[in-house]
Amino acid sequence: METVFRALADPTRRALLDALFERDGQTLAALTAGHDMTRIAVAKHLRLLEDAGLVVSKRRGREKLHYLNPVPIRLLYDRWVSKYTEPWAAGLTGLKAELETHMEKVFEIYIRTTPERLWGAITDPNIRAKYHFGSRIESDWTPGSHYELNHPGADGPLVEGENLVVDPPRRLVQAMNAKWGEDAEREATSRVTWEIEPVGDSCRLTLTHDQLSDTAPEELYGGWPMILSGLKTWLETGETLTTPGSLMYGEH
């Protein structure tokens, strides 16, 4: 968290985050064009933001795209703010995305665990329910197989789709069809990719939710920071994390 605070203390780095909030997935050249700085200076600021986990970069062909990662902000919020506010007033504290032209959402978090334990926590229905708002995931986890996300308070699956890639304990790619409400059901099939990379005694988990239409409702992707925060807490402490999502849906 000290790294996050140091990164946020600089007004130029905050401006870069604002630029990615307005339009996610920008190249270094595009970000440089909006600031009176050299490419080298902007690149240094971006490296510091990446070190803090506030920015995630991904290669797309010959381009390197930069994405705003709200998970560290979510962790700060969960630690110091959420316990003092009404659950429904939460969210991402100013990082809510409205209509965006590039609907690919990238979230990154570091968890002190092994790839095998992390994979198990993603695919085990009992563990999944502890951090995914009480919902259990059901599948036989083979490539091309069907999966469902079910909640005891729902009449049918909240999410269903196909496991496109199953490569334990490294990569899971899933086609996602949301079924929990009219707005969610109107959205076409999107894609969720879980990527696990060991880093020392920890793992870097990158979750990419893409193939979203420009008008996709935020409810499709806005819960991921809370889910990933809960996953980290469970694996590192064995305890469940109280989030607005868990309060609203965990026991209903």
The confidence score (pLDDT) of residue 94 equals 44
Share of the chain residues as helix, strand and coil, in percent rounded to the nearest 5: 40, 25, 35
CB 109 within 8 A of CB 71: yes
Cα–Cα separations (whole angstroms), residue 58 to 48, 65, 105, 182: 16, 5, 11, 32
Percent of the chain clearing pLDDT 70 (strictly above): 88
Under DSSP, is residue 78 helix (H, G, I), strand (E, B) or coil?
A: helix
Q: If residue 195 lies in a helix (H) or strand (E), which one and from where to where?
A: strand 190-199
Calculate mean pLDDT across residues 143-171.
94
Of 6-15, 38-47, 69-78, 153-162, the poorest mean pLDDT is in 69-78
| DSSP per-residue letters across 202-248 | EEEEEEEEES--TT--GGGTTTHHHHHHHHHHHHHHS-PPP-HHHHH
CA-closest candidate to residue 118, choices 203, 206, 53: 203
pTM score, whole prediction: 0.63
The confidence score (pLDDT) of residue 250 equals 61
Cα–Cα separations (whole angstroms), residue 13 to 3, 52, 57: 13, 11, 15
pLDDT tens for 205-231 read 999 999 888 888 889 998 999 999 999
Calculate mean pLDDT across residues 188-210.
94
- Helices 115-123 and 224-237 meet at what angle, rounded to 10? 130
Percent of the chain clearing pLDDT 90 (strictly above): 52
The confidence score (pLDDT) of residue 245 equals 65
CB 174 within 8 A of CB 163: yes
> Which band of pLDDT confidence, cut at 50, 70 and 90, is reported for residue 248?
low
Range with the largest mean pLDDT of 63-67, 70-74, 97-101: 63-67
Calculate mean pLDDT across residues 122-135.
95
Average pLDDT, the chain: 86
The confidence score (pLDDT) of residue 84 equals 53
CB 206 within 8 A of CB 49: no
For residue 78, pLDDT over 90 is answered with no
